[in-house]
Structure 1
């Protein structure tokens, strides 16, 4: 059995009004015959990545896992790029195999000059089959760069170089068809897949923010991710509401900046990280707010209590 390719739709398959299936997509890839492992195609119902759900992603994860158990040396998933940084992290959290799980897609559809889909799929297939990527979990391959799902972000709405890892850089590259892993980040043990649906809200703080908006957003939720200013700060007017929410649900403190960590002990004014953590908020560390929400949903959907959530974020943030 070769590398399993699961196609979910997205820009990479959008040829005008038509959608390319896996056979049509791979037929347009020069050099595919040079792969050491052939591609075993599994077409899924195409869906825009903005409409993907946890249930759908977990279903693909189970199918990918079955392919590995049947002998696939690795897995490639093609999908839209809008939520790829989140789906990659979700898959990484629960992926139990040494075989790599590689996500890719395209920023230019097949009707445009410079369509990047074929090159990305070819590179992703090489990464999925490489011995050097075993044990690295879920990876994102774009533009001949290899990124750990934990760190990668989409940073530009149109650029083919949109996927970057601001805090670490790529873990490797595909150079002249050869996979070069330059750093192997430590990967915590996989988590159990959630068995229940947890509702987790995300609030990004803004200038002149209002407590009523925060309270309304958090109503009926099981958890909240708060994307604060800078190193993890909030307007003083929001502090009482955040403390009240943290007393009844996990509230994870992250930064809206897109890179860098929430601090723990540098600033001690109302709304600072020391103040917010003392009120029960959980430090999200280096996790981007979108990924912190994914982790919190997985934890709560698996029955984790407040203490278990705190431990998991201390380990993974």
Structure 2
């Protein structure tokens, strides 16, 4: 980002300009750049991410390319990383790393972090120990998995953390890549075709004190094929939302329960009406450690695959989220 003449932060330089501004990159790897888009990350969408996914698949077929670094705005970076990680199999990645990075401060600020983050991301991508790890995120000298990473602060340089897990590794003071976790994929892969360019509509409905089901009904009327309910606590909703969930499932709309709490698992715990056990009896499934915005993306991918295979959507989504419980 840069500050324009009106004093507003706007998207800034091209990929070629970024790499040319960091001579140290040439000491690590031979770099080529392609500008897929130049948007504020709030304008990203799952369909735009699918376009990026197609570009990644095509690029990594080149044996001379060791991996890909994606420079991305930080506000939706974790969503792009997660959608890519869930939808790109080892055969499409050829076991090569894809690393997303960005900046919390603009290029024209004295304390800008963008150049250091890009340099670190290239180091990670070039490291042999980064193979077979799928899609990762690297900022502030830390490496995180796409499944667990979250943006936790609106302005801090140390905003990206993995509150439900741990950082996968770090870049040390001598600029070496040090992994703390053995190489593995943390997100179960959902096999969608390379040509997939659009995902089914899935909306998020928030539970809060005094919530009703009006937005849930509106989402279904507007074409949502599944709903992610961001419940409170372990997995609870009030009676109004409970009744709305009953009606949604009767209409064949899948319902996934996530928690608004940033820590802990979303699981069916309580047996009162609206508690997780009663929601499970209705046929809902649970997002486990995924926050609502990542659970939505996972649901979209599962819906897309169920439609391609002519499977029952609710059953397919339930089985898909069960995979998230498996140890990795």
Whether the TM-score (by the shorter chain) exceeds 0.5 is yes
Can you give the 5+ residue segments of structure 2 that lack an aligned partner in the other structure?
6-10
2:154 to 157, 168, 190: 157
The equivalent residue for 1:181 is: 179
Q: Tell whether 2:59 aligns with 1:67.
A: yes
Q: Counterpart of 2:32 in 1: which secondary structure?
A: strand
Write the deviation string for residues 57-80 of structure 1: whole angstroms up to 9, x where unpaired: 112222122221112111000011
How do 1:43-192 residues align onto structure 2 when only pairs under 5 Å count? Answer: 43-71=35-63, 72-96=65-89, 97=93, 98-175=95-172, 176-184=174-182, 185-187=184-186, 188-192=188-192
Check the 8 A contact 1:195/1:301 in 2, yes or no: no
Q: Counterpart of 1:42 in 2: which secondary structure?
A: coil
Q: Counterpart of 1:292 in 2: which secondary structure?
A: helix
CA distance in 1, matches of 2:293, 2:200: 15
CA distance in 2, matches of 1:77, 1:186: 19
CA distance in 2, matches of 1:105, 1:195: 25
The number of residue pairs the alignment matches comes to 303
Q: 1:95 to 1:186 in 2, by over 3 A?
A: closer
CA distance in 2, matches of 1:209, 1:105: 36
Can you give the 5+ residue segments of structure 1 that lack an aligned partner in the other structure?
1-10
Q: Counterpart of 1:19 in 2: which secondary structure?
A: coil
Structure 1-normalised TM-score? 0.90
CA distance in 2, matches of 1:21, 1:213: 40
Q: Counterpart of 1:114 in 2: which secondary structure?
A: coil
The equivalent residue for 2:218 is: 216
Q: Counterpart of 1:73 in 2: which secondary structure?
A: coil
The equivalent residue for 2:270 is: 267
The equivalent residue for 2:8 is: none
CA distance in 2, matches of 1:73, 1:203: 41
1:309 to 308, 317, 326: 317
Check the 8 A contact 1:81/1:105 in 2, yes or no: yes
Q: 1:182 to 1:222 in 2, by over 3 A?
A: same
Q: Counterpart of 1:310 in 2: which secondary structure?
A: helix
RMSD of aligned C-alpha atoms?
A: 1.7
CA distance in 1, matches of 2:62, 2:236: 49
Check the 8 A contact 1:259/1:288 in 2, yes or no: no
Q: Tell whether 2:4 aligns with 1:16.
A: yes
